[in-house]
Amino acid sequence: MEERTLESRRVYEGRIVGLRVDRVVLPGGRETTREVVEHPDCVAIVAIDAEDNVILVRQFRHAVERELLEIPAGGIEPGEEPLQSALRELEEETGYIAGRMERLGGFYSSPGYATEFLHLFLATELQKASSRVREDEIIEVVPIPLKQVRSLIKSGALADGKSIAGFFALFQRLEKNKR
């Protein structure tokens, strides 16, 4: 089932993504091309405060031309471990510091064409600090009761894939802990 890469050609190198076109040979011997968006790995954090609210962020996403409600997330800086990135991104985007951070799992965001892997974390024992949002980000912090999350997903009000995956992992963990 494995494809063998014969040649890679870099088409674009940006600040956040790169694009390459690979010429590959399929198991049956046929050659074809694959377009690959190279994106560094990221972290995404389901943060729950002492009142059982999840800390979400609302921001305009240019690619889909609308505001989205999402769990905090961001890129892993060179030399950083995913846990360090999760702690940093939570504080930068929301102004919260996690007293406890646990791994929830991870997934490839769009493996059909992209390299990005998202590491999911659960942040609890939150303490308010000050956010350090980057100049190029406009983020509104939105606490939502955890019990409302399923209805937000069902209604489409929460339509971000990483957020849905994060909540799915959280709900599985909560169900497992009930047993």
Q: Which residues are catalytic?
A: 135
Cα–Cα distance for residue pair 143/169, rounded to 1 Å: 19
Within its chain, how far is the Cα of 136 from the centroid? 18
Q: Per residue in 65-96, is it b (16+ CB within 10 Å) or e — as a string?
A: eeebbbbbbbebeeeeebeebbbbbbbbbbbb
Tokens of 146: 């955890």
What is residue 162's three-state secondary structure?
A: helix
